[in-house]
Amino acid sequence: MRYSWKWSAVLTDPYFDWIISGLELTLLLSLISWAIALVLGCLIGIARTAETKWIRSLAAAYVECFRNVPLLVIFFLWYFVAPEILPRNAGLWVKRDLPFPEFWTSVVALSTYTAAMVAEQVRAGIEAIPRGQANAALASGLTRWQVYRYILLPVGLRIAVPALGNEFINIFKNSSLALSIGLLELTSRTRQISEYTYQPLEMFITASAVYFVIAMLTTAIMMAIERRSRLPGMITRATR
């Protein structure tokens, strides 16, 4: 109706610096969490295809626990509940002496959640390989470790690449929930500025645009990786 637009608020000192510092935290949080989630998720995904039953159940339990709880609740659990379960002194250390607790708790929350997603994609990738291949490899004298190393993982992970790309884009968007435990990342910075200036629409549009650009860049990177890792003979995007 009568909203007075003031786009210059985005560029005013100190608000521009705040947006940049928020963007830095968003990128740092997402990339560190993604690195951890990728390693942890691969291990859990492999464990889900393991021969031994208890390893399989343990991995399945992990995936179900983290996949079936809202990410926001996972943030709260790690931030508020986890330190209370620890022995008193360890809990106090986490709450008071851990440097930058909001950031590292966010890393833990985001990576443990995303690991469950990655694990499912990795498992699906491995299970997409016809069973005959693994059986044939075993019959030809390879050990189980070698079967994973030379047959299942090289193929399975390549099948999983497009799906993993999705999770990679998601992690940037999911990182915005870190504002709920007080991390001043991109979304909370723009919310903060909108409260200070009362120019909320400019701030939300700015935040959306930045997330959009991040997602587009991620998509471009993932498409390049997909092209290189594409398995000949699989049904994928045709190369131009």
Partner 1 sequence: MVWRLALSAAFLATLAFAGPASADDLYGTLKKVNDSGKIVIGHNADSPPFSYIGANGKPEGYTIDLCHRVAEDVKKELKRPDLKIEYVSLTPVNRIPLLVNGTVDMVCATTTNNFTRQRQVDYLSTMYISGARIITRADTGIKSLADLKGRPVTVNQGSSNEQIMKALDEQQKLGIRFINTKDNPQAWASLESSRSDAHVTDEPTAYGLVVASKQPDKYLVVPGPRLSFDPFAIVVRRDDSAFRLVGNKALADLYRSGEIDKIYEKWLSTIGMSMDPETKTLFKVQALPE
Contact predicate 129/152, CB 8 Å? yes
Q: Which of 21, 166, 180, 229 binds partner 1 (CB under 8 A)?
A: 180
Could you say which of 199, 206, 211, 218 contacts partner 1 (CB under 8 A)?
199
**Range 151-179 burial, b when 16+ CB lie within 10 A, else e:** bbbebbbbbbbbbbbebbbbbbebbbbbb
Given 20, 67, 135, 182, the residue binding partner 1 (CB under 8 A): 182
**Contacts (CB under 8 A) with partner 1, residues 86-105:** 92, 95-96, 101-102
Task: Please state the closest distance from residue 77 (CB atom) to partner 1, in A.
Answer: 12
DSSP string, 210-228: HHHHHHHHHHHHHHHHHHH
Query: Residue-wise over 18-39: b if at least 16 C-beta within 10 A, else e?
Result: bbeebbebbeebbebbbebbbe
Please list, in sequence order, all residues whose beta carbon lies within 8 angstroms of the beta carbon of residue 124, skipping any fewer than 6 positions away: 159, 160, 163
Tell me if 198 sits within 8 A of 129, measured CB to CB.
no
Among 2, 131, 228, 240, binds partner 1 (CB under 8 A): 2
Residue 75: CB minimum distance to partner 1, A? 11
Task: Supply the minimum distance, in Å, between the C-beta of residue 208 and partner 1.
Answer: 14
Q: What sign does the dihedral 42-46-48-53 (CA atoms) show? A: negative
CB closer to partner 1 out of 25 and 37: 25
We find the least distance from the C-beta atom of residue 206 to partner 1, in angstroms, to be 14
| Strand ranges, E, within the chain | none
Residue 11 engages partner 1 in binding (rule: CB under 8 A) = no
Q: Site for partner 1 (CB under 8 A): which residue of 191, 206, 211, 214?
A: 191
CB of 198 or CB of 212, closer to partner 1: 198
Q: Contact region for partner 1 (CB under 8 A) — 56-64, 117-125, 155-163, 183-191? A: 183-191
Q: What is the DSSP-derived secondary structure letter of residue 204?
A: H
d(CA 40, CA 109): 13
**201-220 binders of partner 1 (CB under 8 A):** 201
Q: Which residues bind partner 1 (CB under 8 A)?
A: 1-4, 6, 80, 83-84, 92, 95-96, 101-102, 179-184, 188, 191-201
